[in-house]
C-alpha cells in the first residue's frame, strides 16, 4: 500500500485514546458558584476568628487594668528604747511606724477594721486596734504609727531576760502583724469582704532601734 492510500484514524473509545469531554454552561456555573461559596465561608470564618481574637485581647487588657493588687505594707521604724536604756519590763514600750500603700491605678480599698499585733518567738506580746474605718484612694499611702505600752504590751520578767540575751547576740527579732478586713472598690461596685494579713519581721539592734536590713522591707501579704 502506498503512503497516500493510508486511511486516517480518528480518536474514539475503541482506539485507546481518551476522548475530550465537553462540559455544559450549567456545569461551569455550578463550579463558579461552589468556588464563591467556599471563599465567602473562609472570609466569614476569618472575620469571626479576628473578632474573637480582638475581644480576647480587650478582655485581657481590662482584666489586667481592673485586677486588684494587694495593698503593700512596709515597716519604716520599730524601736524598744528601754533595751538600750537599761530599763525593765515595766518601762518597756514599742514605737512603730509602718505604711500601707494602695498601688492600684483605678481601684480603691475600704479598710473596715485594722488590728496590729506584735509577736516574739510566735508569742503574742501585745497589740491594739488601729485607725478608724477608712477609704484609701488609688495610688495612695496611709501611715500607721503609734506605740504599745502599759496595758497594750505584755512583757514579763522572763521575756525581758530573753530580749536582753538576744540583744547581747546582736539583735532581737519580732514579728509585726497587721490584720485587716478590706473591700475593693471598682467604680460603683464593691467587692466582698476579705481578711488580709501583713506579716512583717523586724529586728532591733543593741541600741533598741530597727536594723537597716529590716527597714522599709516589703511585708508578705496573704488572705484568709
- Pick the more confident residue, 133 or 4: 133
Reading the block at residue 115, the C-alpha cell is 488590728
Model pLDDT, residue 7: 47
Query: Using CA atoms, how far apart are residues 183 and 185, in angstroms rounded to an integer?
Result: 7
Left (φ > 0), alpha (ψ -120 to 50) or beta: where does 122 sit? Answer: left
CATH of domain 72-223: 2.60.40
Helix (H) or strand (E) holding 46: helix 25-66
Classify strands 172-186 and 140-149 as parallel, antiparallel or unpaired. unpaired
Model pLDDT, residue 33: 60
Model pLDDT, residue 188: 81
Burial of 196 (0-12, 13-18, 19+ CB in 10 A): buried
CB atoms within 10 A of CB 214: 19
- Tell me the pLDDT band of 1, cut-offs 50, 70 and 90: very low
The per-residue pLDDT for range 128-173, each reduced to its tens digit, is 999 889 999 999 999 999 999 999 999 999 999 999 999 999 999 9
The DSSP bridge partners found for residue 196 are: 180, 223
Helix (H) or strand (E) holding 166: helix 157-168
Amino acid at each position: 500500500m502506498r503512503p497516500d492510500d493510508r486511511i486516517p484514524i480518528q480518536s474514539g473509545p475503541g482506539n485507546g485514546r481518551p476522548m475530550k469531554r465537553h462540559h455544559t454552561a450549567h456545569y461551569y456555573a455550578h463550579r463558579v458558584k461552589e468556588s464563591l461559596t467556599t471563599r465567602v465561608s473562609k472570609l466569614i470564618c476569618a472575620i469571626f476568628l479576628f473578632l474573637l481574637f480582638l475581644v480576647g485581647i480587650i478582655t485581657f487588657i481590662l482584666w489586667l487594668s481592673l485586677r486588684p493588687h494587694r495593698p503593700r505594707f512596709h515597716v519604716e521604724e520599730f524601736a524598744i528604747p528601754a533595751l538600750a536604756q537599761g530599763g525593765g519590763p515595766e518601762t518597756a514600750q514599742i514605737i512603730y511606724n509602718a505604711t500601707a500603700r494602695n498601688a492600684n491605678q483605678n481601684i480603691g480599698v475600704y479598710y473596715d477594721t485594722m488590728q496590729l499585733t506584735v509577736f516574739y518567738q510566735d508569742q503574742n506580746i501585745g497589740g491594739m486596734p488601729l485607725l478608724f474605718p477608712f477609704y484609701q484612694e488609688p495610688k495612695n499611702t496611709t501611715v500607721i504609727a503609734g506605740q504599745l505600752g502599759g496595758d497594750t504590751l505584755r512583757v514579763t520578767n522572763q521575756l525581758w531576760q530573753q530580749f536582753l540575751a538576744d540583744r547581747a547576740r546582736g539583735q532581737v527579732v519580732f514579728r509585726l502583724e497587721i490584720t485587716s478586713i478590706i473591700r475593693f472598690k471598682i467604680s460603683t461596685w464593691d467587692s466582698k469582704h476579705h481578711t488580709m494579713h501583713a506579716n512583717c519581721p523586724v529586728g532591733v539592734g543593741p541600741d533598741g532601734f530597727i536594723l537597716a536590713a529590716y527597714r522599709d522591707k516589703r511585708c508578705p501579704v496573704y488572705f484568709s
